[in-house]
């Protein structure tokens, strides 16, 4: 009687462990799919892939700048925030080009080097932009990214999804997938040993 209870408890434990392993594998596959449709396209679409050194030539703040309301539109509107324009010397080619914060900045507003995320408090936004401009004037030499193919004449300060960030994003689902497979393998080994012991 006791032996049957032990066997039943062992089978329940194996079933739960097997479900846990399969669940971890399924979750990791979903995470792979999510990363593949969100982060990977942005990483592969970015043309600013080569790191170099930039030197600040000028950093100006313009209070009023006209910007198209939408891409391809002829209507223009005044920006609700001061426009910071930073021009740098690209050491890789010696050209004078405009610096943007990230790839997203170029798409959101190609006339400004920095686009604030929140526009709730205009004084705070203005103070933040003035601080960024003073930092550029203070630290004039820094690493930046440019397009080696020459399709984009501008440079960016940092990439939204660098190579290290992409590897880090894939790290957790990989660990979960490995752990799930390990649990499944251990359960199968345990079942095989139990069957072998019972047969002997």
Alpha-carbon gap, residue 128 to 122, rounded angstroms: 10
Q: Residue 1 pLDDT more than 60? A: no
Q: Residue 2 pLDDT more than 60? A: no
Q: Residue 194 pLDDT more than 70? A: yes
Residue with tokens 């080569």: 50
What integer is the mean pLDDT of 83-95?
84
What integer is the mean pLDDT of 95-116?
88
Total residue length of the chain = 200
pLDDT of 116? 85
What tokens were used for 151? Answer: 């399709």
pLDDT of 74? 54
Q: Which pTM does this prediction carry?
A: 0.70
Dihedral sign for Cα 62, 67, 69, 71, please.
negative
- Contact criterion met (CB below 8 Å) for 87 and 98: yes
Alpha-carbon gap, residue 95 to 19, rounded angstroms: 59
pLDDT range class, residue 3, cuts 50, 70, 90: very low
Instruction: Read off the pLDDT of residues 4-25 as tens digits, 9 standing for 90 and up.
Output: 544 555 677 778 888 888 999 9
Q: Residue 52 pLDDT more than 80? A: yes
Alpha-carbon gap, residue 54 to 142, rounded angstroms: 6
Residue 9 has what DSSP assignment? H
Q: Which residues are CB-neighbours of 1 under 8 A, at least 6 positions away?
A: none
pLDDT of 68? 58
Q: Residue 58 pLDDT more than 60? A: yes
Residue with tokens 């062992």: 10
Q: Buried b / exposed e across 28-39, counting CB within 10 Å, b at 16+? A: beebbeebeeeb
E strands in 43-153: 50-62, 66-68, 76-78, 83-90, 95-100, 141-146
Q: Residue 70 pLDDT more than 60? A: no
């Amino acid at each position: 009687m006791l032996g049957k209870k032990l066997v039943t408890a062992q089978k329940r434990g194996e079933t739960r462990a097997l479900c846990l392993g399969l669940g971890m594998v399924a979750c990791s596959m979903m995470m792979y799919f999510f990363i593949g449709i969100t982060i990977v396209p942005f990483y592969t679409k970015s043309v600013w892939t080569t790191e170099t050194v930039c030197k600040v030539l000028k950093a100006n703040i313009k209070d009023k700048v006209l910007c198209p309301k939408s891409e391809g539109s002829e209507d223009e509107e005044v920006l609700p925030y001061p426009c910071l324009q930073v021009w740098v010397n690209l050491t890789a080619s010696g050209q004078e080009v405009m610096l943007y914060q990230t790839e997203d900045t170029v798409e959101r507003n190609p006339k400004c080097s920095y686009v604030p995320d929140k526009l709730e408090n205009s004084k705070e936004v203005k103070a933040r932009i003035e601080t960024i401009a003073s930092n550029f004037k203070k630290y004039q030499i820094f690493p930046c990214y440019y397009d080696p193919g020459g399709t984009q004449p501008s440079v960016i300060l940092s990439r939204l999804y660098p190579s290290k960030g992409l590897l880090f994003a894939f790290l957790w689902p990989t660990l979960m997938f490995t752990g799930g497979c390990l649990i499944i393998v251990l359960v199968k080994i345990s079942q095989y040993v139990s069957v072998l012991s019972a047969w002997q």
